[in-house]
Amino acid sequence: MIFNDFRFRIAFRTVLLGFTVSLVVFMFNRPNMFFAAGLTLLIIIFQVVELYRFASQTNRKLTRFLESVKYSDFISGFANDNKLGKSFRELNTAFNEVLEAFRKARSEKEESWQYLNTVVQQVRTGILSFDSEGDVQLMNANAKKFIGLPQLKNLEELIKANPKLYEALKHAEPGKSTLYKSGNEFQLTIQATELRIRGNTVKLVTLQNIQTELQKQELEAWQNLTRVLRHEIMNSITPISSLTSTLREILDQDMVKKEENYELKTEGAEDLREGLSTIENRSKGLIQFIDAYREYTSLPQPKLKTIKLKELIDKVASLMRPEIKKTTIAFATTCHSEYLTLEIDEEMIEQVLINLIKNAIEALHQTENGKIEVIGNYTGNAITIEVIDNGPGIIPEAINRIFVPFFTTKKTGSGIGLALSRQIMQMHNGTLSVESELDLRTVFTLRF
């Protein structure tokens, strides 16, 4: 109805205020009506205040709407003054739609948080986040199990319970992996990432128990080692045992007693000499195998120093050139920068490169136009040294086993060189890998 319309009510109040003002002016012109004029003036003040209050409804409504958004009060609605006209109904409808959109967005946000929290709690990896003050913001169930505490509000609570783990978590460097052993049950790899959230630095740490995987790898390594040891020892012990029995039979059959001395037939003496020679050779082979095993298991810790990559490559090249000149193999070295440096044990890495170049020379002994290249480069995230040859390559069946100790594809060799080379690279926090295309090229890559 028109009487409920906001504009009508404003107009009515304005007209009434104007009429009252006119009445006051009229009364002030009559000396006997001063008292009534004063009372009417009070009515005017009341009307002005009421007009201001009534006209301010829109501002109050907007203030209440903004407060609802500020304090996430999305239950309130706007519909009480719909009768004040179309403009009020449209404004109320818009406010209610905005509040409903906020309510829906908050509901979806809470659902996403609950889903993410459920996923975080269920993953096998421990997840822990804390700010620069050490206040813990997130810790899932596996992190609690690895840490050994049901609750952790601040990282410093770990100082008394587990000071070593506290140091490992507090000083975990982004992009690096730290190994932490907790008794016989857990062996954790700790990795960290730093984030900026609302202007604060937050460190997100993951803890992964690799104990089971390490035990499997350890068992597999022992099985492989036992298999190799058994094979090598049996290869030596079996003929020695057989020859010992044969030599005893020779002595029993060909040894002739004459008076107080014994004489051995010529044929028997030759067989005895040959058998003893074979035993000696097999014994030496077994000793060489044990020496190779000892060398593999007793590498000294690297003595690190800074050296230029180009100087390292040039030195290895000068050491190998005399041997390469005895062949028809072309040899070339390249270093893409004179300023790249490495923090390494120079002698150990030289030995790795010499071993790889010698392997390449042996691989090229029947290859026409053989070529060996040594290339030093920076790939964007690591310094690499590549040893490349164009020999026959490595068959796919062997390429995954060439770094296994005592495995070899050569007729002669201990099978220890590549295993030692990879071990040396691991001691330098680097890697040694190989790629090979049959009858085309083989590339061994040292990555630092």
Q: Considering the entire predicted model, what is its pTM?
A: 0.47
CB atoms within 10 A of CB 420: 20
33-57 confidence digits (pLDDT tens): 666 666 666 776 776 766 666 666 6
259-277 confidence digits (pLDDT tens): 566 666 666 667 677 777 7
The per-residue pLDDT for 52 is: 65
Is the pLDDT reported for residue 400 higher than 60?
yes
Higher per-residue confidence, 319 vs 19: 319
Could you tell me which CATH number the domain at 124-209 has? Answer: 3.30.450.20
How many angstroms separate the CA atoms of 333 and 352, rounded?
A: 16
The per-residue pLDDT for 308 is: 92
CB 163 within 8 A of CB 244: no
* Helical residues (DSSP H) of 187-336, grouped into ranges: 211-254, 266-297, 309-325
- Binning pLDDT at 50, 70 and 90, where does residue 422 land? confident
Please list, in sequence order, all residues whose beta carbon lies within 8 angstroms of the beta carbon of residue 341, skipping any fewer than 6 positions away.
Answer: 306, 307, 308, 309
165-220 confidence digits (pLDDT tens): 888 888 888 877 788 776 656 778 888 888 887 778 888 888 888 777 776 776 67
Fold of 305-447: Heat Shock Protein 90 (3.30.565)
Is the pLDDT reported for residue 378 higher than 70?
yes
Is the pLDDT reported for residue 109 higher than 70?
yes
The per-residue pLDDT for 228 is: 66
Token pair for 365:
């002994």
CB 50 within 8 A of CB 38: no
Distance from chain centroid for Cα 24 = 86
How many angstroms separate the CA atoms of 82 and 95, rounded?
A: 12
Q: What is the mean pLDDT of the chain?
A: 76
Domain spans of the chain?
Answer: 2-102, 124-209, 219-297, 305-447
Higher per-residue confidence, 13 vs 115: 115
Question: Any idea which of 135-139, 143-147, 266-270, 395-399 has the lowest mean pLDDT?
Answer: 266-270
CA-closest candidate to residue 207, choices 179, 234, 229, 231? 179
- Binning pLDDT at 50, 70 and 90, where does residue 2 land? very low
- Binning pLDDT at 50, 70 and 90, where does residue 413 land? low
